[in-house]
Amino acid sequence: MPFFPEVSEPIPFEGKASKNPLAFKYYDSQRKIGSKTMSEHLRFSVAYWHTLMGNGQDMFGAPSFVRPWHIAGGDPMDRAKATMDAAFEFFQKLGVKFYCFHDRDIAPEGATFAQTCKNLENMALKAKELQKSTGIKLLWGTANLFSNPIYAHGAATSPDAHVFAHAAAQVKHAIDITHELGGENYVFWGGREGYETILNTNFKHEQEQLARFLHMAVDYKKKIGFKGQFLIEPKPKEPTKHQYDTDAATTLAFLREYDLIDHFKLNIEANHATLAGHTFEHELVVASAVGKLGSVDANRGDLLLGWDTDQFPIDLYSTALAMYIILKQGGLGSGGLNFDAKVRRPSIETVDLFYAHIGGMDAFARGLIIANNMLNDGIFDEFLEKRYSSYRSGFGELIMEGKATLEQAEQFIHENGLPKPFSGRQEYLEKLLNDYIE
């Protein structure tokens, strides 16, 4: 019995004129954009936690989705197996090549740590078979270090070393199964790594603990020969008031401070960027500028809501600018676009999961087409080239070569007078961007 009977075969590409809501209008997986296909550029991934595990529950109410794979009662392992069958049916029907999970998404916790590890290993065996038979790959795995109440004070940053040890043991197993499943990356999102008040928190100590934790993971990665990329996912708040990995710049500074920078890249989430008071493209460009943009959690927040709404991406300005940055850095490498997004609580039918993902995939496919056209025409690049051209010769060149001194600057001003005002042309460029968005 299929879990998604409303879709009988992989979602087709039917083009812009199609009126079929269960078809792609822009995402044509095999269409070449430059030297790569859309599928190779975009590397879409489904987030197991939202799409398979999500039940519509919120702070104000009980679950609103009735998923046929969420068998009530009975053995939690049976439920986990049914959920995984549903997952791979969904991935195949949607036509994505990747998925991502937390250890606790795919396997339930047992009564003891040993039982929990066993459950995870058993579910990893099943995942391995399903990956083999479908060709679907693991974009990244991660450990859920935030749901279990033992992590109430943090995991790696817990004031209790016993909790730290539990988190480290859990991460070891999560890396093991990610490795076993050929995961292309492994993510560290700082769940409850943060604090509420300095009255009970030794900030410096917790930073050092976190650094030790990550060094231990780096050592273990080397030891077992795991070749996937380690990624850190910044977020400014939620669940704690001050999450330690606040944003891209803070995370990069932390990695440099503790000699971890060579071992990590960043996984940038759109909604976390806006929660941090930044735009999505700002966070992407901060990471990309130093070669640290590794992967993307593709979603969006809401302008009027100050929390992590994890909505599906639909804004073409945002997807176009994101793809512009990604194309400029030559792609995401082993990373991808993971839909860390959930359907709204009233969107209770399984078909809504298809509409949501199709919408997100088409929005990024359009973003890719727009960004590629912007790059090919070269108008934006030419503009930038010109805007900074004074640094290519004369005193500007000396500055960039590190040869200019303050005294020379003074002499330069005496000789050349005051600089002339000039236009930033923002409205011209914004209008130009609009011309690319068809």
Q: Which residues contribute to the site for ligand XLS (CB under 6 A)? A: 102, 142, 187, 189, 233, 235, 269, 297, 308, 340
Q: Cα angle at 391 between 386 and 395, to 5 degrees?
A: 140
**Shortest reach from residue 270's CB to ligand XLS, in Å:** 10
Which residue, 13 or 339, has its beta carbon nearer to ligand XLS? 339
**Shortest reach from residue 338's CB to ligand XLS, in Å:** 8
Q: Near Ca ion by CB under 5 A, which window of 9-17, 215-223, 240-248, 262-270?
A: 262-270
**Inter-axis angle of helices 316-328 and 280-289, to 10 degrees?**
0
- Using the rule CB under 5 A, which residue among 184, 283, 340, 362 binds Ca ion? 340
Which residue, 193 or 233, has its beta carbon nearer to ligand XLS? 233
Which residue, 146 or 226, has its beta carbon nearer to ligand XLS? 146
Instruction: Choose from ligand XLS, Ca ion, none: what does 342 bind? Cβ within 5-8 Å by kind.
Output: none
Catalytic residues: 102, 105
**Shortest reach from residue 230's CB to ligand XLS, in Å:** 14
**Shortest reach from residue 379's CB to ligand XLS, in Å:** 35
Instruction: Choose from Ca ion, ligand XLS, none: what does 350 bind? Cβ within 5-8 Å by kind.
Output: none
Q: Is 308 in the site for Ca ion (CB under 5 A)?
A: yes
Q: Is 245 in the site for Ca ion (CB under 5 A)?
A: no
Q: Near Ca ion by CB under 5 A, which window of 33-41, 61-69, 173-181, 338-346?
A: 338-346
Q: What are phi and psi of 376, to 5 degrees?
A: -65, -40
**Shortest reach from residue 340's CB to Ca ion, in Å:** 4
- The answer to whether the beta carbons of residues 208 and 161 sit under 8 Å apart is no
Which residue, 340 or 362, has its beta carbon nearer to Ca ion? 340
134-163 residues labelled b (16+ CB within 10 A) or e (exposed):
eebbbbbbbbbbbebeebebbbbbbeeeeb
Q: Is 269 in the site for Ca ion (CB under 5 A)?
A: yes
Q: Is 247 in the site for Ca ion (CB under 5 A)?
A: no
Site string for Ca ion, 281-300 (x = CB under 5 A): ----------------x---
Give the Cα separation of 46 and 358 in Å (integer).
11
Residue whose Cβ sits closest to ligand XLS: 189
**Shortest reach from residue 307's CB to ligand XLS, in Å:** 10
Instruction: Choose from ligand XLS, Ca ion, none: what does 142 bind? Cβ within 5-8 Å by kind.
Output: ligand XLS
Which residue, 116 or 142, has its beta carbon nearer to ligand XLS? 142
Which residue, 176 or 308, has its beta carbon nearer to Ca ion? 308
Contact residues for Ca ion, defined by CB under 5 A: 269, 271, 297, 308, 310, 340
